Amino acid sequence: MKTYMVVLVLATLLAGCRHPATVSPGVVQTAIAQTQTTNPTAMPTATCVPSSTATCTPTRTPTLLPTVTSTPSPTSTSTPTHTALPATQTAEAKASTRTAIAQNATSTRQAIVERMTATTQAAVAQEEQYLRQAKSLVEYVNAMVDYSERSSTLVITIASGWASQYDVGVMERVIPIQQHYGALPVSLPQVNGYIAVRDCALMGQIWLIRPQNGNWERFLVADCAGSQETRDWMTKNRILVEVDGKTARRWKIVGVGIRIEVGKTVGIREKRE
């Protein structure tokens, strides 16, 4: 609107200068006053002196018009301004995104591996615990079987004396003869060795004997004194038994005697084959 009034005033001035007879100075001054009242800085100052013989050329002093900024109305929609990023910034943004994705993938993969490793270690530890428990159970059962068979802690000494010995191979020849006459069973029990005693009524029994500084062992009574002379010799020298030649070698007493104890189990019935 202001621009329109400025143009109108200028047109009026030009028309008045060309046709002084039709435009009076009062009209021009009134128009200028109204325009300056509305916008004092938007109107250029123009002076025209009419002449009857020549066309009037006004002298104008140019005045810069203020920049008119259009303010959008509340109902108008402004278009957003898009600023393009430089190529270097775009490449850096892409590289940063790729790096972040790679780091995320690495962290995820590492977490999965750690979780799998922890699960595997837990399974292995549990399996090892089961194996230890099974091993302990087996050892306990074996210990109980060994304890019940040997009864080492439940043996009391009922006699002590000396043990003599047979030569190697003598007891092996005597046992078949005793089996033949029924003094020994055909199937012999599992024992550590064989012994001969004074009384033949004890044939076939299982004796517990512990040599000096040794452990309790099981022996089968496989022979006895065949004459009174032998029985007297054994009584006089306090010889309780004579062991087979293999036991003498095992005990390292070949040619000499050894002190022994004869025991008996208490509280557990002796196992007989």
Q: Measure the CA–CA gap between 201 and 209, rounded to whole angstroms.
A: 19
Tell me the pLDDT band of 140, cut-offs 50, 70 and 90.
Answer: low
Which of 77-81, 255-259, 264-268 has the highest mean predicted lDDT (pLDDT)? 255-259
Q: Where are the beta strands (DSSP E) in the chain?
A: 45-47, 59-61, 155-165, 193-197, 206-211, 217-224, 239-243, 258-265
Q: Is the pLDDT confidence value at 253 over 60?
A: yes
Residue 129, H or E segment = helix 87-150
- Which residues lie below 8 Å from residue 240, measured CB to CB, with a gap of 6+? 159, 160, 161, 162, 163, 197, 234, 260, 262
Q: Is the pLDDT confidence value at 110 over 60?
A: yes
* Local structure of residue 216 (DSSP, 8 states): -
* Local structure of residue 207 (DSSP, 8 states): E
CA dihedral of residues 166, 170, 174, 176 (deg, nearest 10): 130
Could you state, in order of their start, the residue ranges of all structural domains in the chain?
A: 2-61, 109-150, 154-265
Contact call for residues 186 and 160 (beta carbons, < 8 A): no
- Higher pLDDT: 104 or 13? It is 104
pLDDT value for 160: 95
CATH number of 154-265: 2.40.40.10
Q: Measure the CA–CA gap between 120 and 237, rounded to whole angstroms.
A: 71
